[in-house]
Structure 1
C-alpha cells in the first residue's frame, strides 16, 4: 500500500494501467485489455486486479525496517493512508535510503519501485455459482516469483472513478486499506485507526458483512459504524 501511494502518475500507469483500463471497459465503451467471455460480462461484481509481489531482498527489507524508525516514515505512512503522493517527501526518502547504502538502480528510481518486485498481468474474476469462481487473465511474458503474491486487489468497477490517473491511484490505495481492515476483522480484533475505513476490500468479506448480523456493513461507503471489534481486542492492540 505504501509503495502504491508513493508512485508518481507515470509509475501508476506502468504498473496498474491495465487494471484501470479493464475497469473502465466495464463502465464505458472502451477496449478491454483482456477479452471477457459472455458469462463474465453478464455476471455481477466482476473483480479486476493484478497480483503484487513485494521485494524479498533481505538487505533491502532490513533497511526498510530501519527506515520505519524515522520521522520521514511517519510522514509517508500518513500519505499512504490518505492516498496522497508528495514529490518532496519522495526526494527526502531517496536521500535517506542512499545514506543507508540502499542501492537505487535506474529501474528502481523511486521508493515504490524498490518495494515492488513484480506485478502480474491483469485478470478478471467472477462468480459462476455460490461455490465456484471463474477467471481470465491477460497473457504476460514477464517472469513472476514462484510464490503467492503479497497483495491481490479485487476492484469492482461500479465502486470507483477512473477519470484521472491520480483518482484511480487514490481509489487503489483506499481499496488496499480496506483489505488490511478486513484482515483485522477476520481475526476478530479492531484495525488500527488508519484502517478504520469503509468500502469494499476482499470480495469474500462483502458477503460476510451482508449476510451475517454479527458484522456491520464495513464494505458500504455510507454505513454508520459504531463497532470496530474493540470489545474483542486485547488492550495492548488498541490505538
Structure 2
C-alpha cells in the first residue's frame, strides 16, 4: 500500500493510493472518516461485476486511506473500534484489571458463553436463532485517558519496546505487559456496555442487536466473540487480552498491511476478519489456531 494526501479544504481531505495490486484509487473523506468519493478505473463500478478479490482490494484501500489520514494529519478518521491504537490501549487496560474488577465488567459475558455448554437454557434475543449456530457476542469498552492523545501514538510506543515477535505468554497472562517501560501507557476502563449480538443463520440472513451506550461517545474497542466454552481456557481474562491482540492483527490485514511482528499470532480476532479470511483468497485462516500459515502478507 502506498498513499499520498493530495489536498484538504474545509470539508474534506483527499488521498491517492496504490493498492497491493498496483491499482490506483482516488478517495475523498470527511474529517470523521466518512468516504464521500472513491474512484478506481481498473475495477468495475458495479459490485456485481467485480470479483471477490477486486472488492476486497477496494475495501483495503478505503480502510488504509482512513488510517493514513489519521496518522498523517491526526483526524479521527478510523472507525473507533477498528483503530489499532485504541485496541492496544484496551488490551493494556485489561491486563491491569483485578480479578474482582474483571468479574464485574465481564462476568455476564462469561456466564452467557458458558450457558452454551453447561446445560443451561441459552437466552438469545432472536426468536428463531439456533444456539448452536453462529452467535457473536459483543461488548464495548470505553477507556481513559483518550488513546488518541498520545504522541508518539500508543502502538508506536509499544513497538519501541517490543519490536520483534512476542512470546505468546505476554498475551495470555494478565499483568505481563505492565513493566516499567510501559508506565506511560496506563489505561483504565471507564465503562463497559451490556451485551450486543450478531446472529448469522448460514443461509445469507444476518441479524444484529447493538450494545447499549453507557457514555455519550463512541467506544474505544469492542469484544467480539463466537460462542465457546470458557472451561477450555485457563483464564477468561487472559483469553480476552489475546483476543484484542488478534484484533490488532486483523485490522492491519484488512488495511492490506502486514501486521507488526508482535501481533503475528493465530486466534479469533474480529468477525470482519473471520469473514474475509474465510471467503477471500488474499488471506489465510489467521483466525484458526490449527491453520498452517505460510505468509503474513495480505496480498
TM-score, with length taken from structure 2: 0.56
**Pairwise CA RMSD of aligned residues?**
3.8
Alignment pair present for 1:227 and 2:290? no
Using the TM superposition, give the Cα deviation of residue 192 of structure 1 relative to its aligned residue in structure 2, in angstroms: 1.0
Compared CA separation, residues 38 and 3, structure 1 to 2 (3 A): same
Give the Cα–Cα distance (whole angstroms) in 1 for the partners of residues 170 and 217 of structure 2. 27
Give the Cα–Cα distance (whole angstroms) in 2 for the partners of residues 78 and 65 of structure 1. 23
TM-score, with length taken from structure 1: 0.68
Compared CA separation, residues 55 and 136, structure 1 to 2 (3 A): closer
Compared CA separation, residues 54 and 193, structure 1 to 2 (3 A): same
Q: What is the count of residue pairs matched by the alignment?
A: 204
Could you tell me which runs of 5 or more consecutive residues in structure 2 were left unpaired when the two chains were aligned.
1-90
Alignment pair present for 1:134 and 2:204? no
Give the Cα–Cα distance (whole angstroms) in 2 for the partners of residues 88 and 219 of structure 1. 23
Compared CA separation, residues 62 and 195, structure 1 to 2 (3 A): closer
1:160-208 CA-partner distances (Å, limit 9, x unpaired): 53367x6111111111111111100011111111111112211122122
Check conservation: 1:6, 1:80, Cα contact below 8 A. no
Alignment pair present for 1:3 and 2:73? no
Compared CA separation, residues 163 and 145, structure 1 to 2 (3 A): same
Using the TM superposition, give the Cα deviation of residue 154 of structure 1 relative to its aligned residue in structure 2, in angstroms: 1.2
Alignment pair present for 1:161 and 2:235? no
- After superposition, residues 88-127 of structure 1 pair within 5 angstroms as 112=187, 114=188, 116-127=189-200
Q: In the alignment, which residue of structure 1 is the partner of 2:143? A: 54
Give the Cα–Cα distance (whole angstroms) in 2 for the partners of residues 41 and 55 of structure 1. 38
Using the TM superposition, give the Cα deviation of residue 88 of structure 1 relative to its aligned residue in structure 2, in angstroms: 11
Give the Cα–Cα distance (whole angstroms) in 2 for the partners of residues 2 and 145 of structure 1. 21
More strand by share: 2
Using the TM superposition, give the Cα deviation of residue 9 of structure 1 relative to its aligned residue in structure 2, in angstroms: 1.5
Say which SS state the counterpart of residue 209 (structure 2) adopts.
Answer: strand
Check conservation: 2:116, 2:131, Cα contact below 8 A. no
Residue 275 of structure 2: which of 198, 204, 207 is its match?
207
Give the Cα–Cα distance (whole angstroms) in 2 for the partners of residues 191 and 222 of structure 1. 19
Check conservation: 1:49, 1:155, Cα contact below 8 A. yes
Give the Cα–Cα distance (whole angstroms) in 2 for the partners of residues 23 and 40 of structure 1. 15
Whose radius of gyration is greater, 1 or 2? 2
Could you tell me which runs of 5 or more consecutive residues in structure 1 were left unpaired when the two chains were aligned.
98-110, 233-239
